[in-house]
Structure 1
Amino acid sequence: MTAAPHGRTGRFAVPPADTARQTTPGHWSPAGEMPFAGFWAQPADAAVLLTDGRVLLAGGEDGRRVPTDVTTLFDPAAGTWSASGALWTGRRLHSTTRLADGRVLVTGGIGEPPGPVPATALGSCEVYDPGSGTWTATGPLREPRFSHSATLLPDGRVLVAGGGAIRSADTHRTLRSAEAYDPGTGTWTPVRPMTDARFGHPAVRFDDGRILMVGGILAVGRGSHTALAHCELYDPVADRWTPTAGLATARKSHQATLLPGNEVLVTGGDMQGFKDEDWTYDPYSQWTTERYDPASDRWTADGQMPWGRSHHRAVRLASGDVLVLGGTDDASMAVGYPNATLYDAVGRTWSAEIPMVRGRWAPAAIGLDDGRVLVMGGLDESGPAAPLPGEDQVTATAEIYAP
């Protein structure tokens, strides 16, 4: 099931015929079931590829938004799942980063289920040792946060930027602050704050070590949020943030992918607001894409996806193409899309949709060493579409895309 994009005129828009290219798509096949049925709504992937080729997935949330402490491993060679040592603290909306020495850092998040008051962000952090299969507490964040970005720097530190935190008894606030983790000492040090507060934002590291923050979310009231078009670059050598050209369309729940040649592709997301050019209200997920050239500091419109989608995943393949998979439409967030589409980074065109085994939004996804893509979990049916009142249907299934 898919949802059609909504145009500015209020009618459903059909992409031009030339947006589809003639290609031989890959195929999806089942990859078993994880020990835990969950989803991961943070913008960065919750899964990491270990140095031995296995995939680690830790934390997440179930259909009632309850955080989990489960850690699971997938062995692509054997095609099997196994449990590993549990996190000390169950958490959702956290970040997961593989360190230069092969260990894995989990940072912040939320450690409680939804309640009548805003959730409190976690400051605790943990490090996973693949050799022993255990987690060890490490130095806490200077400022607790959730739905932040976490990026490995060229010098081995981890940059954590932005995120959400509690503001008052009934509201959240959005953070500008940033800090860096030193794996050698297990401590965090302050980093110059970002130009703009944001959470739920993708972060892309260029080949030269600079990091681009793309759009995201700004809390504006009690349970109210707005999408951002602002972007900025962080230079870790100078410890300096520089505002860059903004997106043509403000976006949240989108993806940003580094392309060959050091450009960035932004796909989908939603804005839920009025468009500046004609003041039409747009509650639907975007099918438009944009491409950033750091040399010229410009965003340009790119080929349209076959359909709009938010809460999807985008994974760059070994060929340089980008696989965009799953997602949902933010106007209803009722079902996960059971399809994917391929972006040709050279021709700037999109393939026809490629059927998946199961529909899913907010899954985890990661490229494997052999060039395949593993996607795990996600929401299948939610809200009014869910079979149980007050509980979204979450899947434990996984599947693999073979190009």
Structure 2
Amino acid sequence: MTVSVSSAAPVAAAQARTSVDPECWPDVARLPRSSTLRTAIARRVLERAFARVPVQIQHGSTPGLIPRPADGTDGTDGTPTLTLHDPAAFHQRVGADGLIGFGESYMAGEWDSDDLVGVLSVLAAHVDDLVPATLRLLRGAWAHRRPARDRNTLTGARDNIQRHYDLSNDLFALFLDPSLTYSSAVFDTLPAAPRDFTAAQHRKIDRLLDLAEVGPETRLLEIGTGWGELAIRAATRGANVLTVTLSEEQRDLALRRIADAGVSQRVTVELCDYRKIEGRFDAVVSVEMIEAVGAEYWPAYFTALRRLLAPGGIVALQAITMPHERMLNTARTHTWISKYVFPGGLIPSSDSIAQESAAAGLSITQDIGFGDHYAETLRLWRETFLQKSEAVSALGFDRVFRRMWELYLAYSEAGFRAHYLDVRQLRLVAASPATKDAR
């Protein structure tokens, strides 16, 4: 295979890298050490992988096409392009750190794409066959173990949540809809229009409240306040709500929004870990919070849900899921997402939720998936974030952060579009004695 390379592109990429703040982004500002052998293996694996999928590779400003699969794809019908501005740095990073290096290379500006979601969707759809089976046995050579500091102990969980959710309320307000809801919406139709976003978020919230049978005087516990929209809607139904969070930024804004909505008398917001909550509740709702718990603490999480339920109570969860085998493969792996976006997080599988909830004495009585709606949610967030790039910069977030955030949103959207990820709403109740005996 012959590929033309623009000599100016690596120079420009190297200059961009030297402008990276080494204190904020030490592993982006410098190239990692990678042996010649590891870099060569990474280059060969990537060349073989890209040759098998509908992605066009371009080096610098000169296109160099990787041979396409024999499926009629010719690179002209919307085939996404991945442009390598600095191929040597790109392969060195991947050789040293695998997918973490892949992400850091994007943050450094060493590669781009005319369709970032398209490229990532193709890679996600072919994740099981991109690497030859013989080389998968060497996965441990490229995978890093999760750092001990990211464990979700009582102290660690607070630090992990604050590293993401306390970035800036103003940042989140730039790309979320006016309800400030940071989880998957449920749209009336797909594809969705931005004008329908808040209604779609309310539809999602109302479905969860209906699932938990929340009504007048319901004693409701919400684990994971966000910016308070679910608590507000529950209070307008007449429920009495305790909502807990570990984010001070979210707590402060949620209190103001709850007061502005005129429901302060029905909503209490506390900075509290789910393991420290006391009381019994008719309903417990938790929206996309289990992903921040960590597999080590899933037993404690579901035990807390069961302990906090009053007789006849209902739990309603919204959870992102991934296939069980893939979850097991990544459970102890330090990924780009866990390093830069969600420290300590792990997306569960449906099987793991079923197993852990059953072990805690809970039965799943309803389970609805709607992953395509999360892809649309993420598309709207990403497009708005990119449109507000100057405003993000004005808040003090530099070019590396903006590229990191763009990659995070695109990476997540691609996971749902490729059906690598799903999102589900589940209803759980206390297991009957007969059910527990059967286990």
TM-score by length of structure 1 reads 0.28
Q: Which has the larger radius of gyration?
A: 2
Q: Say which structure is richer in strand.
A: 1
Q: Say which structure is richer in helix.
A: 2
